[in-house]
Amino acid sequence: MKKTKIKNIFYRLPVFILITAVLIIMQASFFAGCHAVPKYTYEEYRKIKAFNENKQTLEITDSQESLDDLELFYRDLEHYNTFISEFSAIYNKYSGLLFPLIDSFDAEQEDMDLKKQHASSMMDNYSQWLGEIKEMDVPGIVSSYHGFFKDYLEIEILFYENFLTGDALLSGKYQADANEMYDAVKYELESIESQLNQRAAELGIDQVFN
């Protein structure tokens, strides 16, 4: 179905309901857990990550050779905590801004122009959020997590762009892409924490994550 055809029937009820339903599903997925189109599926990401992890174990830098395992562990843990502290502050800032906009968007069922204004405001907030995420200092231990979350935000922006143009097909595509990237984001964070716990166990110290 051509994009121009969708635009011509944008104000008809079936398309309005379809776009709204897709948006509500995507919003529920995002705010229940916690990131341009993803280059890989979730399963491909798992395979690539496993390969990269095996490769990285063989690439020990000169600076790492001068540190023992315990020092490396605490260095990585400090880098992780510093990043997560800044990341969480940014996350809380923008989720706080978006909640009332989402409520207003979902509540509006009659005035399409007003609903589009809410969508435009949300897209602007996601764009600003993405800008701040891009400016963060990113240590190696969280580089993949940071990258996937950027991709996730980019997909959110693409979703709202296509809502505003009335392209229901692309909106559905980006909803699926967002779900896939959201899974990758969750898996990456769990993987980082699991690796740190495993290293702690090997060093004979307490687990850092429950």
Answer yes or no: are the C-beta atoms of 136 and 20 closer than 8 Å. Answer: no
Q: How far apart are CA 54 and CA 51, in angstroms?
A: 5
Q: Give the mean pLDDT per block of 10 residues along the chain (210 residues).
A: 27 40 48 41 49 50 62 95 97 94 87 91 96 97 97 94 91 89 94 95 91
**What's the confidence (pLDDT) of residue 168?**
85
Q: How far apart are CA 136 and CA 84, in angstroms?
A: 11
Whether the pTM exceeds 0.75: the reply is: no
**What's the confidence (pLDDT) of residue 179?**
86
- The one-letter amino acid code at 125 reads N
Cβ neighbours for 48, distance < 8 A, ≥ 6 positions apart: 40
